[in-house]
Amino acid sequence: MARPERIAVLGGGSWGTTFAKVLADAGNDVVLWVRRAEVAAEINESRYNSGYLPGVELPERLRATDDAAEALQAAEIVVLAVPSQSLRENLAGWQPLLPEDATLVSLSKGVELSTLKRMSQVIAEVADVPMGRVAVVSGPNLAKEIAAEQPTATVVACPDEPRAVALQQACSTSYFRPYTNTDLVGIEIAGACKNVIALACGMAVGLGFGHNTMSSLITRGLAETTRLGVALGADPMSFAGLAGLGDLVATCMSPLSRNRTFGERLGRGETLAQAQDAAHGQVSEGVKSCSSIRELAARHGVEMPITDVVYGVCHEGLQPGPAAAELLGRERKPE
């Protein structure tokens, strides 16, 4: 087994808590920061985070706190697991507490609204560290399935390969298998865009459409995601991997996905506010990231028709039925 590392996970929602469990199961000493003291107390006293992972017993090696300084004390790896649009503000508060030379790892899948930056760019900027200290974990990783220890693979991306390998070692368990990659751009663009395509797939389900529609959206969604990624300098092969096609299939096909569920509600005719209420505070990143991704695509002259209609439904009052008709009615072209 690898040398146990001291790891801080900042953000105790469904994925932050699950990834903290993975790291603890891998033999590391893990401290999970949550922003509510009662959640920290529940985890420490009963070993459950019942609000996010009901029924999942958390390992003894995982300790929780609502004090970020305590979580970050001597951490060799710092995992950031808050929603994308709140990362900058939270990290700015934690910046003075970050241990020198710690690897900073993003779990968040989104593109910042105000700057159109990827999460690794936000981290490098706010923490004032070189990109070689920033890593990303992304793949077909529905938290509830991993918390139940179902076999899953993922991608650990870092431009500094030895750091990627160290992180890979730190999060390898009998049920979680990470692969390394150095293409941060591709892995992050894939993770952010698949949430938008999952919203579209959910709308298709809500409209009563079947697997042909879903497969068409997944495949054309992958095409537009790859176009954007390549325009931003990504390796096209990243989109064929776990963080690309892998995550797209998992998220678009699974009723466990918050983005797909959100889209399904819109497809059934609910309003944005109704779908938001039903999410009970859990994040559906694609609802906001469809705006930043669309703007990023426009800036680079990339066509993203599925993202355009998802944006139309979420933010411009377009109805899902006419949105589907709009996609089908586009100019015919070769594949």
Ligand X SMILES: NC(=O)C1=CN([C@@H]2O[C@H](COP(=O)(O)OP(=O)(O)OC[C@H]3O[C@@H](n4cnc5c(N)ncnc54)[C@H](OP(=O)(O)O)[C@@H]3O)[C@@H](O)[C@H]2O)C=CC1
Residue 11 as a binder of ligand 13P (CB under 6 A): the answer is no
Residue 141 as a binder of ligand X (CB under 6 A): the answer is yes
Residue 14 as a binder of ligand X (CB under 6 A): the answer is yes
Residue 250 as a binder of ligand 13P (CB under 6 A): the answer is yes
Residue 285 as a binder of ligand X (CB under 6 A): the answer is yes
Max Cα–Cα distance, the chain, nearest Å: 60
- Shortest distance, CB of residue 335 to ligand X, whole angstroms? 30
Q: Which residues contact 327 (CB under 8 A, 6 or more apart)?
A: 305, 306, 309
288 counts as catalytic: no
Q: State the Cα–Cα distance between residues 34 and 82, nearest whole angstrom.
A: 10
Q: State the Cα–Cα distance between residues 185 and 60, nearest whole angstrom.
A: 36
| Other residues' Cβ atoms within 10 Å of the Cβ of residue 139 | 24
Q: State the Cα–Cα distance between residues 100 and 160, nearest whole angstrom.
A: 16
Residue 201 as a binder of ligand 13P (CB under 6 A): the answer is no
Q: State the Cα–Cα distance between residues 240 and 188, nearest whole angstrom.
A: 14
Is 258 annotated to bind a ligand? Reply is: yes
Kindly name the residue from 21, 117, 194, 288 that is annotated as catalytic.
194
Q: Are 327 and 307 in contact (CB under 8 A)?
A: no
Residue 142 as a binder of ligand X (CB under 6 A): the answer is yes
For ligand X, which residue of 82, 290, 302, 304 counts as binding (CB under 6 A)?
A: 82
Q: Which is nearer to ligand 13P, 55 or 96 (CB)?
A: 55
Interacting positions 48-67 with ligand X (CB under 6 A) = 52
Q: Are 90 and 55 in contact (CB under 8 A)?
A: no
Is 26 annotated to bind a ligand? Reply is: no
Stretch that binds ligand 13P, among 72-80, 140-148, 155-163, 308-316 (CB under 6 A): 140-148
Q: Are 46 and 53 in contact (CB under 8 A)?
A: no
Q: Which is nearer to ligand X, 86 or 115 (CB)?
A: 86
Interface residues with ligand X (CB under 6 A) are 11-16, 34-36, 52, 81-84, 86, 90, 107-110, 141-143, 281-283, 285
